[in-house]
Structure 1
Amino acid sequence: MFRRRSLPWEYGVRNLLRRPTRTVLTLGALATVILLIFVVVGFIRGLERSLAVSGDPSVVLIYSLGAEENIENSAVPARTPALLKASLNGIRQREGVDYISPELYLGTRVQTGAGGQGGLGLIRGVTQTAPLVRRNVRLTEGTWPGPGEIMVGKLVAAKLGCDPANLAIGEEITIEKQAWTISGRFAAGGAAYESEIWCRLPDFQQVLKRQDISVVALTLTPESTAANVVLFCKERTDLELQAVGETEYYASLQQHYKPMRLLAWLVVLLVSGAGVFAGLNMMYGAIAGRIREIATLQAIGYRRRAILLSILQEGALLAAAGSLVAAAVALLFLNGVAVRFTMGAFALRVDAICLLVGCGVGLMLGLLGALPPALKALRMPVAESLKSI
């Protein structure tokens, strides 16, 4: 008997259109699963990008030896910047101004709005030299803070969990029982600073009744290296200081959050596995009503391989459509959405890798979901299948 090689491409497309209700429901289920994958992968990519862009290769952080990797617990004398300036060579200068930024960094309760809403905020007291060292920070609205004023990063509202309208220029917020007026807003190219509140260092010291600082950030010339600063801190044991390159510091945070990122990838696998089983359930139901059709195709001369490829084609088409729908929703509504986190806040990032993972998993769901029920239907005897209802 003559065996036909393959079914026409239009056959699979027409099969999807013959059952519009089932097709739409299957498409919606696949798109929902893939969208969940986009959310998780976007979370991972956003966290990684926030830490990656926060470090500057030419910047070195100097803080107390006992603070380990937590700068909030650091306390160094206020004279440390002057001591470093006098003892170190290779600090960048411009028009007689040293690129040295003394900073007081603290996490504390912040209240916003008339109802006193707010949450845990990250406050950084800085001086006029901070923009020289923190080169990715740029003022987007308003002015640099004066006495009793602050400026807020673009993700502060997400970090505090408050209405962004409460952080408009001219509004007041309460930090350490002190009212502060918002004078400006800033962005930092996705860096961790975007979830911080900045104010003048002397004002913050006065409110906290502290004379020390948390960290000294300095920018080195291209000829100098962070190893010189590290060696100086190790030699001057009386100062109890430690130094680390800013890129190395945020790389260590990457390692600190590695278990969480692994857990997120595990969630991707679990969601994918659940999607495969859901796809199996849907495809078993879809193929159960097509057993006579499949047997008829075999009876008129189509090979089992050709029928299998046609069924897989239908699953791939549904999965591709679901992936496109989920990708469109993710790009329009998820990309850039701020997420509150322990280290502050960051934006979900639906980038090329996120799209590749999500769409790849989507296609896998379509193919793996259609394969087992199709093989089961094709193994049944033709005569028995033709009698099925």
Structure 2
Amino acid sequence: MLLPWEYGVRNLLRRPLRTALTLIALSTVVMLVFVVVGFLRGLERSLATSGDPDVVLVYSVNSIENIENSSIPAQTASLLTASLEGIEHRYGVSYASPELYLGTRVLTAEATEGLGLVRGVTHTAPLVRRGVRILDGHWPRAGEVIVGRLAAAKLGCEAESLAVGQSLEFEGSSWTIAGHFAAAGGAFESEIWCDLPEFQNATKRQDLSLVALLLSPQSNAAIIELFCKERTDLELHGLRETDYYQTLQQHYQPVRLLAWLVVVLVSAAGVFAGLNMMYGAVAGRIREIATLQAIGFRRGAILLSIVQEGVLLAAAGSLVSGTLAFTLLNGVAVRFTMGAFRLNIDSTAILLGCSVGISLGILGAIPPALKALRSEVAVSLKAV
């Protein structure tokens, strides 16, 4: 015969202070799991949405996966458009975007300095970077920049510092913010874009970092990759943009493994904390457990009732943490080496966080309950 369901619920209410402390401890552990999993999901989403399958990046073969270290001649864009077929071409304009991309110190109007990602572009950039949308303001003119909506997070400054009309200083020049843009959650959102020739003059560089090419619907990226391999004198490397960001995911694999290790360690710490608290809770109920056995309840029924209490607490803690994480953490911008991205508390994060919480309730309740049930009933009835 099983104990009534209400019995476990009433037991939790009989000890409000201990129940509250256990609930806070479980909620804290589950919240940490939500933070780490949200970080991982946000990083994966940012890398996954950054690439365009129809865009091919051409950059220096010596830069490997770090385009910031790439340096190619300034005439590379015109050479590619003149030598290759299959590049999108409309109204006399080739969809090729020459770009200079580097990380540099950026000083805001409030004297906040941070490491920013600046990309020098031309008027053809919006044709190739099809995911970019201007949110407010206008395309940058002479002496102006347009900033991504996560650039403030990358710089570590307040969003008001990057409002339209504010000024920025980098590479020895002052720039006025002309507007803001979004890129569907991609890596571009943490960057600052300005006019390519002006940026080259400011940095005293006449080279490029890369050329982004938009392929026509009937074209294949292999044509560009083959051209780069055949022209060994140019030392170019062609790679589909989605493949480039896939290599970045592999590059950040150690970081992701470390984050999953943190999830495991936090969960393990939560299990031990739950064991400690449940041992204390069960230790004060030895006579109660012995009395239940004396009046005829089986040990399995008592064990199930104690596990029920742990699961109820864990479920409540998971619900509290999930609600707080979804309302307070979802979409929060965080800085990273690649730029900035938003924490993503999606269905996968909710599932993992709640699974960890329920597991803590079960694993934390079983060992102390088994220990109490092993004691002799006559001895336990005399316990103080």
Cross-structure match for 2:102: 106
Q: Does 1:352 align with 2:359?
A: no
Q: In structure 2, what is the Cα distance between the partners aligned to 1:103 and 1:285?
A: 64
Q: In structure 2, what is the Cα distance between the partners aligned to 1:60 and 1:333?
A: 38
Letter of the 2:358 partner, please give it: L
Q: Does 1:240 align with 2:235?
A: yes
Q: In structure 1, what is the Cα distance between the partners aligned to 2:171 and 2:91?
A: 37
Q: In structure 2, what is the Cα distance between the partners aligned to 1:336 and 1:122?
A: 21
Task: Map 1:138-157 to 2 at 5 A.
Answer: 138-157=133-152
Per-residue deviation at 1:331? 0.6
Q: In structure 2, what is the Cα distance between the partners aligned to 1:228 and 1:384?
A: 83
Q: In structure 2, what is the Cα distance between the partners aligned to 1:81 and 1:347?
A: 33
Q: Does 1:222 align with 2:220?
A: no
Q: In structure 1, what is the Cα distance between the partners aligned to 2:257 and 2:61?
A: 30
2:131 to 136, 160, 164: 136
Cross-structure match for 2:200: 205
Per-residue deviation at 1:86? 1.1
Task: Map 1:373-388 to 2 at 5 A.
Answer: 373-388=368-383
Q: In structure 2, what is the Cα distance between the partners aligned to 1:178 and 1:82?
A: 28
Letter of the 1:350 partner, please give it: I
Letter of the 2:156 partner, please give it: G
Q: In structure 2, what is the Cα distance between the partners aligned to 1:195 and 1:311?
A: 50
Cross-structure match for 1:8: 4
1:74 to 70, 73, 93: 70
Per-residue deviation at 1:143? 0.8
Cross-structure match for 2:54: 58
DSSP-derived class of the 1:271 partner: helix
Task: Map 1:120-135 to 2 at 5 A.
Answer: 120-135=115-130
DSSP-derived class of the 2:233 partner: helix
Letter of the 2:47 partner, please give it: L
TM-score by length of 1: 0.98
Cross-structure match for 2:81: 85
Per-residue deviation at 1:156? 0.8
TM-score by length of 2: 0.99
Per-residue deviation at 1:209? 1.5
Cross-structure match for 2:299: 304
Letter of the 1:289 partner, please give it: G
Per-residue deviation at 1:97? 2.0
DSSP-derived class of the 1:327 partner: helix
* CA distances 1:168-205 after superposition (whole Å, capped 9, x unpaired): 10000101111100000011111000110000111101
Per-residue deviation at 1:71? 0.8
Task: Map 1:141-290 to 2 at 5 A.
Answer: 141-290=136-285
Q: In structure 2, what is the Cα distance between the partners aligned to 1:221 and 1:13?
A: 65
Q: In structure 1, what is the Cα distance between the partners aligned to 2:82 and 2:139?
A: 29
Q: In structure 2, what is the Cα distance between the partners aligned to 1:275 and 1:71?
A: 42
Letter of the 1:41 partner, please give it: V
DSSP-derived class of the 2:218 partner: coil
Per-residue deviation at 1:93? 2.1
Q: CA RMSD in A?
A: 0.8
Letter of the 1:47 partner, please give it: L
Letter of the 1:57 partner, please give it: P
Per-residue deviation at 1:67? 1.3
Post-superposition, which runs of at least 4 consecutive aligned residues in structure 1 deviate over 3 A? Answer: none
Cross-structure match for 1:323: 318
Letter of the 1:130 partner, please give it: A
Q: In structure 1, what is the Cα distance between the partners aligned to 2:349 and 2:125?
A: 34
Q: In structure 2, what is the Cα distance between the partners aligned to 1:222 and 1:263?
A: 40
Per-residue deviation at 1:95? 2.6
Cross-structure match for 2:334: 339
Per-residue deviation at 1:240? 1.1
Per-residue deviation at 1:221? 1.5
* CA distances 1:259-315 after superposition (whole Å, capped 9, x unpaired): 010000000000000000000000000011111111111111111000100110100
How many pairs does the alignment contain?
384
Per-residue deviation at 1:65? 1.6
Cross-structure match for 2:37: 41
Q: In structure 1, what is the Cα distance between the partners aligned to 2:126 and 2:146?
A: 13
Q: In structure 2, what is the Cα distance between the partners aligned to 1:136 and 1:370?
A: 50
1:21 to 17, 21, 29: 17
Per-residue deviation at 1:96? 2.6
DSSP-derived class of the 1:106 partner: strand
Letter of the 1:249 partner, please give it: Y
Letter of the 1:62 partner, please give it: V
Q: In structure 2, what is the Cα distance between the partners aligned to 1:131 and 1:263?
A: 37
Q: In structure 1, what is the Cα distance between the partners aligned to 2:59 and 2:86?
A: 19
Letter of the 2:52 partner, please give it: D
Q: In structure 2, what is the Cα distance between the partners aligned to 1:295 and 1:153?
A: 65
Can you give the 5+ residue segments of structure 1 that lack an aligned partner in the other structure?
none
Q: In structure 1, what is the Cα distance between the partners aligned to 2:319 and 2:95?
A: 48
Q: In structure 2, what is the Cα distance between the partners aligned to 1:65 and 1:258?
A: 23
